[in-house]
A = this chain, B = another copy of it.
Amino acid sequence: MKTIGIVCELNPLHSGHKYLLDMARQKFSADYVVLVMSGDYTQRGVPSIVSKEVRTRMALMAGADAVFELPVQYATASAEYFASGAVSLLNSLGCVDHILFGTENGDIEEIQKIASILNDEPDEYKKELQKGLKRGLNFASARDAALKKLITIGNSTTLIGSNNILGIEYCRALMASGSKITPLTIKREGSDYNEEELADNFSSASSIRKVLESGMERTKKDTTQNTNNELNSSVKASLEQNIPADILDLLLSQNKYNRLDNYSDYLHYKLLSERDNGFISYADIHRDLSDKIIKNLPKFTTISDFAQLLKSKDLTYTRIQRSLLHILLGITQETMDMLKENNYPTYIRLLGFKKDSSALLAQIKESAAAPVISRMSDSFRLEDELQKSLLAQDVLASDIYHLLMPEAKNEYQKPVVIL
């Protein structure tokens, strides 16, 4: 029984994701495909446009057998923690043989070679890294230059490009955790991660979000029902190349697409309330950024404008967005350090599964090395304090998400999605 794990965000699911799922079965002959999916927030520091329940349904419709939630601390963390948490969850399922991910080069040997250099830090690497830093390169460029001295395969201009970063981190986490899971990769097709123009078929999730958001804006401005329908069909027309038809219907049937700026007032209030103490206790926030937040607070209008105001050569927009989300959700650096020290503890939160995959679930219940939680009422099974506090923060993050999506049920009322 070959089981392949895929880590994903599906914000929203598009044909690139569908392709990866199909490849797992066709190219790599998986009997089962399990997903580890971020919950209500994603790694770039934004709430997902539709809830994790809707995204779970999309995943099952696209062919996943079961979907598990990546706890919010990992889901919103920088690449190292994100990948380590996801691999820890896959390890804890106890029956996953492979992890599959997309990369720029599609070459798993190259990815693994880079990962092992970064993990082992051989002397030659360290020497080259120091040289680059002394030459005034920033850390990412110095690392890339040092790697290129040690590795000759491949011909990409940057070894650790945005599409390779997570793949490398998955491999590092597999090695560091002594995992029995082996990595697989396919070459990513289509748009770049951050591409905002829709390409044919393989668009990035962010360009799809743009289309949905601008459709929503136009709908708001014009309140006549007739124009609404027209706009809906124009949004549909521009997305039908990029999202499988049944999933697009589900996506368009949602009447609200969430976005970070919906939480501007809440964050503003929290920033004001804690201004006098500073923000360095939150994950990823160093003294400089904390001081900058305090200094610019009188100019706060929306989170996106504020992130724009704070960004600099050293701190990217996404990095700041993620930091601000950590403040909003109350995720501290102390928590992240503790998780790392404890080898990224997790619990197994089942978000959904396919009816005809119940054999897989039976297997997981047997092989799982962490408590399986299908309903929140199962949470009494958690005895470990770290697992308990992970879950409490997940519930809080979800409650904050639903402050603005009140139609959805709260964490304790949600059933597992079954297809």
Contact = CB atoms under 8 A, between A and B. Distances in A.
Contact of A272 (B265, B272, B298, B396): B396
A276 B329 CA distance: 13
Question: Which applies to chain A's interface (DSSP): helix, strand, loop or mixed?
Answer: helix
A275 interface: yes
A273 B396 contact: yes
Given A298-B410, A410-B298, A399 B265 contact: no
A287 to B, nearest CB: 20
B400 A269 contact: yes
Interface string A247-269: 00000000000000000011011
Contacts of A399: 272
Interface in A20-55: none
A408 interface: no
Contacts of A330: 273
A265 B268 contact: no
A276 B392 CA distance: 8
Contacts of A396: 272-273, 275-276
A119 to B, nearest CB: 35
B410 A273 contact: no
A151 interface: no
A392 B272 CA distance: 11
A268 to B, nearest CB: 7
Nearest to A412: B298
B400 A273 contact: yes
A298 B398 CA distance: 13
Contacts of A266: 265-266, 269
A269 B392 contact: no
Contacts of A418: none
A338 interface: no
A176 interface: no
Contacts of A275: 396
20 contacts: A265-B266, A265-B403, A266-B269, A268-B403, A269-B269, A269-B270, A269-B400, A269-B403, A270-B270, A272-B396, A272-B399, A272-B400, A272-B403, A273-B330, A273-B396, A273-B400, A275-B396, A276-B392, A276-B396, A298-B410
